[in-house]
Amino acid sequence: MGAEANNRARFAKLVTPYLSHAYRLARSLTGSQADAEDVVQEACLRAFRGINSVADTNARAWLLTIVHHTACTWLRKNRPAALITVVDVAAVEEKQANSSEQDAETPETALIAKADRARLEEAIASLSLPYRETFTLREVEGLNYREIAEVTGVPIGTVMSRLSRAREQLNELIERNQ
Partner 1 sequence: MTNSIPSSPDNPIQLLHAYVDGELDLTEALSVERKIADDPRLAAERDRIIALREAIHEKLPREPISPGLQLRIEKTFGLRQEASRPTWRALAASVALAVLVTSSSTWLFFGSNDTRTTEDAIVAGHIRALTAPQPADIASSERHTVKPWFNGRVLEAPHVADLANAGFPLIGGRVDVVGARTVPTLVYARRKHIISLTAVPASGKANSGPKISVDNGYNIVQWTANGVSYWAVSDVSATDLDEFAKIFRATQS
Residues forming the site for partner 1 (CB under 8 A) = 4-5, 7-9, 11-13, 16-17, 19-24, 27, 33, 37, 40-41, 44-45, 48, 60, 97-98, 100-102, 104-109, 112-113, 115-117, 120-121, 138-146, 149, 156-157, 160-161, 163-164, 167, 170-171, 174
- CA dist 86 and 63 (Å) reads 22
- CA dist 126 and 154 (Å) reads 22
Q: Given the complex with partner 1, which of 54 and 81 has the nearer CB atom?
A: 54
CA angle 34, 36, 42 (to 5 degrees): 110
Which contacts of 164-169 are long-range, i.e. CB under 8 A and separated by 24 or more positions?
164/100, 165/93, 165/96, 165/100, 165/131, 166/127, 166/131, 166/132, 166/134, 166/135, 167/135, 168/100, 168/102, 169/127, 169/131
Name the minimum Å distance from CB 37 to partner 1: 5
The answer to whether the CB of 93 falls within 8 A of the CB of 158 is: yes
- CA dist 99 and 56 (Å) reads 40
Name the minimum Å distance from CB 87 to partner 1: 22
Q: Given the complex with partner 1, which of 75 and 165 has the nearer CB atom?
A: 165
Q: Given the complex with partner 1, which of 27 and 68 has the nearer CB atom?
A: 27
Q: Given the complex with partner 1, which of 58 and 84 has the nearer CB atom?
A: 58
Name the minimum Å distance from CB 55 to partner 1: 15
Q: Given the complex with partner 1, which of 44 and 75 has the nearer CB atom?
A: 44
Name the minimum Å distance from CB 81 to partner 1: 25
Name the minimum Å distance from CB 11 to partner 1: 5
